[in-house]
């Protein structure tokens, strides 16, 4: 027959529970508040504008010696960023939940490639990269502290005050940064114009708005660029005989055509005629350099199937970021360019990670 725990044992158990991550007022797995993509920043009063950093969104939890880094999708990032975990674990304040962005400075610019390199299965490799290119955690919201408890229902203006108070109490912490803000839309637009690719855009938050996990309560304007690309192939839409996406290519200095991304922003009323046009141009190899369709553990037979085309067609697309000589996300089809020769479509058009503008330097180089 089991005996009841002694009072001292029960007290010790309560203490262990209280200091654990699950005792925090914000539950593990809580999704971050998100932003809706818009064409321009709000003009009316009542908005706070912040830089949109080109990194990994992250919620950081700490309760005593326990630290967790949670990605936007809810997965743990702690094993990939031991340097940030260590930086948070030694802070004088030991109970908090913060929202921010993981970023890595490579040379004079923030490098998304360096972040992706951290997602490696070998712990020894991760530790080596952490020592060579340490990450930083850029703070932009405060969800909970020991002093304030949960701040989810608290207006942004008070959460920002709590964040600044938290940050000022830390002293010199090279691995942590505090994002700047402005409540002047013209200043925020100036950030977009002067960032030269070192920012991902600008985020707008309601000054009196609460923190709403998982909802698109914020607004974001992204830095978008354009490029003229060769249509080197296409994929049919799922369970359809009509085109689903165009496969885009750019030439290197040797004249090889490399696959760099895709666009699926094709109007439904145009798909039938476009499919007939494309099918007349089907001919290998399509791409003479890097080609699409390499199988992976996530791909299916259908997803890797594509039709190569003669390099005759050129489109202008809008894109946001370039990583590893590829468009990081799907692109937006702007127009066809019959006036442009396919041979003129080269990598020299692309705007990659740029040296940081003054705003960025003030944050990452302090």
Which CATH number does the domain housing residue 339 bear? Answer: 2.40.50.140
Q: Say which CATH number the domain at 203 has.
A: 3.30.470.30
Q: Do 253 and 283 fall into the same domain?
A: yes
Last residue of a domain, one of 223, 245, 262: 223
Kindly report the average pLDDT of the chain as a whole number.
87
* Per-residue DSSP letter, 146: T
Same domain? For 318 and 339 the reply is: yes
Q: Do 121 and 151 belong to one domain?
A: yes
Return the structure tokens found at 67.
């630290």
249 beta partners: 230, 259
- Active site residue: 13, 27, 36, 52, which one? 52
What is the full DSSP assignment across 171-225? ---TTEEE---BS-HHHHHHHHHH-TTSS-EEEEEETT----TTSEEEEEEE--E
Instruction: Please report whether residue 166 resides in a domain.
Output: yes
Q: Is 52 a catalytic residue?
A: yes
Q: How many residues does the chain have?
A: 366
User: How much is the pLDDT for 197?
Assistant: 57
Confidence of residue 172 (pLDDT cuts 50, 70, 90): confident
| Shared-domain flag, residues 210 and 247 | no
Q: Are residues 235 and 206 in the same domain?
A: no
Same-domain check for residues 32 and 106: yes
- On whether both 91 and 180 belong to a single domain, the answer is yes
In-domain check, residue 364: no
- Which range marks the domain in which residue 61 is found? 20-223
- Is 145 inside any structural domain? yes
Q: Which residue has the higher pLDDT, 353 or 158?
A: 158
* Pair (251, 203) in one structural domain: no
Question: Which residue, 175, 203, 223, sits at the end of a domain?
Answer: 223
Q: What is the pLDDT of residues 302-337, one digit of tens each?
A: 445 899 999 999 999 988 888 878 998 889 999 899
In a domain, 13, yes or no: no
* Residue 240 and residue 133 share a domain: no
H or E stretch covering 69: strand 66-71
Residue 355 lies in a domain: no
Statement to judge: residues 36 and 95 lie in one domain: yes
Enumerate the β-bridge partners of residue 20: none
What average pLDDT does the segment 62-72 reach?
96
pLDDT digits (tens, 9 = 90+) for 77-86: 999 999 999 9
CA atoms of 143 and 128, how far apart (whole Å)? 32
Find the mean pLDDT for residues 184-194: 88
- pLDDT of 231 reads 97
| Domain assignment of residue 6, yes or no | no
C-alpha neighbours within 13 Å on the C-beta side of residue 56: 29
Question: Mind listing the pLDDT tens digit for each residue in 252-310?
Answer: 999 999 999 999 989 999 999 999 999 999 999 999 999 997 544 334 444 458 999 99
Q: Are 99 and 162 in the same domain?
A: yes
Residue 263 lies in a domain: yes
Query: Do 273 and 153 fall into the same domain?
Result: no
pLDDT grade for 2, boundaries at 50, 70 and 90: very low
What's the token pair of residue 116? 């992706």
For residue 34, what are the contacts with CB-CB under 8 A and spacing of at least 6? 214, 215, 216, 217, 218
Q: Give the number of domains in the chain.
A: 2
Task: Read off the pLDDT of residues 27-45 as tens digits, 9 standing for 90 and up.
Answer: 999 999 999 988 899 999 9
At which of 198, 223, 248 does a domain end?
223
**Domain presence at residue 193:** yes
Q: Look up residue 245 and give its two tokens.
A: 């996406």
């Amino acid at each position: 027959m089991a005996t009841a725990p002694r009072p001292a044992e029960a007290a010790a158990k309560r203490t262990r529970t209280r200091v654990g991550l699950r005792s925090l007022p914000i539950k593990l797995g809580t999704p971050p508040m998100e932003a809706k993509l818009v064409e321009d920043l709000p003009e009316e009063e009542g908005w706070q504008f912040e830089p949109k950093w080109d990194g990994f969104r992250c919620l950081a939890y700490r309760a005593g010696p326990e630290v967790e880094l949670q990605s936007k999708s809810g997965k743990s990032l702690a094993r990939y960023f031991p340097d940030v975990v260590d930086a948070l674990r030694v802070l004088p304040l030991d109970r908090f939940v913060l929202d921010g962005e993981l970023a890595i400075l490579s040379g004079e610019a923030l490098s998304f490639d360096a972040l992706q390199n951290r997602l490696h299965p070998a712990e020894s490799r991760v530790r080596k990269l952490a020592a060579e290119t340490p990450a930083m955690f850029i703070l932009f919201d405060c969800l909970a502290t020991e002093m304030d408890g949960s701040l989810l229902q608290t207006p942004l203006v008070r959460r920002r005050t709590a964040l600044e108070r938290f940050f000022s109490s830390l002293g010199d912490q090279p691995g942590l940064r505090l994002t700047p803000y402005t409540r002047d839309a013209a200043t925020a637009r100036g950030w977009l114009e002067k960032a030269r690719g070192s920012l991902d855009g600008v985020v707008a938050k309601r000054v009196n708005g609460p923190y709403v996990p998982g909802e698109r309560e914020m607004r974001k304007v992204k830095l978008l660029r354009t490029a003229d690309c060769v249509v080197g192939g296409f994929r049919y839409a799922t369970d359809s005989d009509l085109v689903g996406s165009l496969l885009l290519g750019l030439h290197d200095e040797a004249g090889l055509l490399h696959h760099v991304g895709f666009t699926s922003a094709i109007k439904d009323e145009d798909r039938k005629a476009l499919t007939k046009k494309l099918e007349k141009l089907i001919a290998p190899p399509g791409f003479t350099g890097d080609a699409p369709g390499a199988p992976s553990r996530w791909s299916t037979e259908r997803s890797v199937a594509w039709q190569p085309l003669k390099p005759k067609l050129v489109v202008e697309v809008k894109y946001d970021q370039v990583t590893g000589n590829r468009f990081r996300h799907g692109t937006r089809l702007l127009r066809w360019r019959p006036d442009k020769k396919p041979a003129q479509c080269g990598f020299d058009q692309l705007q990659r990670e740029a040296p940081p503008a003054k705003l960025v330097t003030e944050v990452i180089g302090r």
